[in-house]
Amino acid sequence: MGDEEKGFTIVDRRAAASEQAPAEEPAGGSSQAPDTEQPPVDFGSFCLSLATSALYHMGVAPHPEGGEAAEKNLPLARHTIDSLEMLERKTRGNLDDEEAQLLQSLLYELRMRYVEATSGPGETRA
């Protein structure tokens, strides 16, 4: 080494990485392909999404992508129905007639399906 001390160099890799990195992902970090456009989120579509999830966990609705039925998970189905019931309580008086009717109809249908799912042979109520 001799009498000279070797120094060191600091390199900010963040700056170098940003120059080489591909375009940033959209806000939210979604890795979804940009060509698959999602419908706008509104109260009705949100409630329908939760209802579909509950039906899937009751083994009634097929998986949206694969088409296969899910293994029943009645506690998770009950939790989703409870979530919709909480939404109904918390939004009472703040929904338009169409939204309120949709939520009431979904809850009625889900409750009836849940009773059927828990009343079958070998099933216990959760």
97 part of a folded domain: yes
33 part of a folded domain: no
62 beta partners: 69
The number of distinct structural domains making up the chain is 1
pTM (two decimals) = 0.64
**100, pLDDT greater than 60:** yes
Task: Give CA–CA dist 111/60, Å, rounded.
Answer: 13
pLDDT category at 115 given cuts 50, 70, 90 is: very high
| Domain membership of residue 94 as a residue range | 40-115
Strand intervals (E) in the chain: none
What integer is the mean pLDDT of 17-23?
A: 52
Predicted pLDDT at 30: 52
What integer is the mean pLDDT of 76-90?
A: 97
**90, pLDDT greater than 60:** yes
63 part of a folded domain: yes
pLDDT averaged over the chain?
A: 79
Residue 31: other Cβ atoms inside 10 A: 6
Predicted pLDDT at 37: 83
Task: Give CA–CA dist 70/55, Å, rounded.
Answer: 10
**5, pLDDT greater than 70:** no
1 part of a folded domain: no
79 part of a folded domain: yes
**45, pLDDT greater than 90:** yes
110 part of a folded domain: yes
75 part of a folded domain: yes
7 part of a folded domain: no
Checking phi first, is residue 107 left (phi over 0); if not, alpha (psi -120 to 50) or beta? alpha
